[in-house]
Chains A and B, each alone.
Chain A
Amino acid sequence: MPDLGKYAVEVLSSYGVSLGLLAVLVIASVLRARKVKAQLDEVEARSKQDG
């Protein structure tokens, strides 16, 4: 861990906030992609059954 001196709080909070926001964005995108794909597969299967 580098010595961040008197600005440690500023530097660490910048990285923490940013990486946290990026993680939320990536996880939300992946989860929604999976959910929508599963829902579409279900609707397509149903519409094929119904002809």
Chain B
Amino acid sequence: MSSIWEYANPKKFIATTNRLLPWVAGLALVLTTVGLVWGFFLTPDDFRQGSTVKIIYIHVPSAMMAINAWAMMLVTSLIWIVRRHHVSALAARAAAPIGAVMTLIALATGAIWGQPMWGTWWEWDPRLTSFLILFLFYLGYMALWAAIENDDTAADLTAILCLVGSVFAILSRYAVNFWNQGLHQGASVLRAGALAGDTEERVSNVFATPLFISMAGFLLLFVALVFLRTQTEIRARRMRALLARERMI
């Protein structure tokens, strides 16, 4: 039986992800398109929020992936720290720009949505603030990778930064539960009561079905981009090693 650690071999990782990439990318494109087209064109306005409810099909999936990308980076950083597999460190590096873009989309769409609903683009609310700090952590993480020439040292230091930043990733997710204050609403999409079928808690299926499809699309888009970008990082690392060898001859 094959072990997951076989994929720590760069050649095995590239061969496997090359086979999976077209399917994951294709499915991501289909689900994202269906979710967004369904949400934009085929759902009614909310009785309170009007047509701004359509922003949910982008805002929620991007916010979900902003946090989950950091969670993935945390896991791969821990694997690097414990087992020293280069592919895991490079996968974390590959995921950071994707997470940063997802965080930026969540912040931008949140501000655009907030203006008509709350009367302000921005509020130093626990969830909004923790998301902004998470975005700054993404930028710092990418800058640290770029600033350090030695790959192993960069992987070590960025892994530590990732562990520290995880506090804000967790706060981004649970801030509304920790501090019951601020403008941002509490968790509503995956609330326990909603999942248990409580109709009082549940987001109407009219909105929930395209939202879940869009969330699945964003998740697969993230996976496809991580596959592609990790392959690129593996190749870039090999190229740096070969060029260094050339210089020594």
Contacts and interface: CB of A to CB of B under 8 A. Distances in A.
Contacts of A8: 51
B116 A22 contact: no
Contacts of B52: 7, 10-11
Contact of B242 (A3, A24, A43): A43
B232 A18 contact: no
Size class of the A contact interface (CB-based, 8 Å): 20 to 34
A26 B102 CA distance: 12
B41 A36 contact: no
Nearest to A17: B108
Size class of the B contact interface (CB-based, 8 Å): 35 or more
Contacts, number: 94
A14 B59 contact: yes
A6 B113 CA distance: 13
B225 A25 contact: yes
Contacts of B228: 29-30, 33
B58 A15 contact: yes
Contact of A50 (B36, B41, B225, B249): B249
Interface of B: 36, 40-41, 45, 50-52, 54-55, 58-59, 62, 97-98, 101, 104-105, 108-109, 112-113, 115-116, 221, 225, 228-229, 231-232, 235-236, 238-239, 242-243, 245-246, 249
The 7 closest A-B pairs by CB, nearest first: A4-B51, A33-B232, A14-B55, A14-B109, A18-B58, A40-B239, A40-B235
Interface of A: 1-8, 10-11, 13-15, 17-18, 21-22, 24-26, 29-30, 32-33, 36-37, 39-40, 43-44, 46-47, 50
